[in-house]
Amino acid sequence: MKRLYTSSSAGKANDAQETGTPRAGWHVYIVRCIDDTLYTGVAVDVDGRVRTHNAGKGAKYTRARRPVELVYQEVAATRGDALRREYAIKQMPASVKRQLVRQSRPKRTRRRAAAAR
């Protein structure tokens, strides 16, 4: 039986190699909560993790601050790299985290901003 590599099998990093299923890789992500605070985490499936947060089954911090919106993500080579980067981001002042989020968003041109209205 072929097993897929998902966030639920996070402790089984060799599954993807054993089955030939391509591994998505680890990501560090930041979500903005309804109270405008930021939460940082790591996941293989970021979209699935955001859905879990919004379903109230994610981190205790986000349960009372739903809905959350994904505002930043970056790829890490390994789980260890992702955890180290998560720790580094969590040590940053909120103002630096917000600057990181702002810098990661695509720049809106005047034409694109006008079309969005």
| CATH code of the domain in which 86 resides | 3.40.1440.10
Burial category of 114 from C-beta neighbours within 10 Å (exposed 0-12, middle 13-18, buried 19 and up): exposed
2 pLDDT band (50/70/90 cuts)?
Answer: very low
Q: What is the DSSP letter of 64?
A: T
pLDDT of residue 24: 65
Does residue 97 register a pLDDT over 50?
A: yes
3-state helix, strand, coil in the chain (%, to 5): 45, 20, 40
In a domain, 7, yes or no: no
Q: What is the pTM of this model?
A: 0.72
Residues 15 and 97: their CA atoms lie apart, in Å, by 34
The residue segments making up the domain with residue 72 are 24-102
Q: Is residue 116 part of a domain?
A: no
What is the Cα–Cα distance from 41 to 37, expressed in whole angstroms?
13
Burial class for 43, CB neighbours closer than 10 Å (0-12, 13-18, 19+): buried
The residue ranges of DSSP E strands in the chain, in sequence order, are: 26-32, 38-43, 69-76
Q: What is the pLDDT of residues 60-74, one digit of tens each?
A: 999 999 999 999 999
When divided into structural domains, the chain yields a total of 1
The tokens for 18 are 């054993």
Rounded mean pLDDT of 90-102?
96
Lookup result for tokens 């720790």: 87
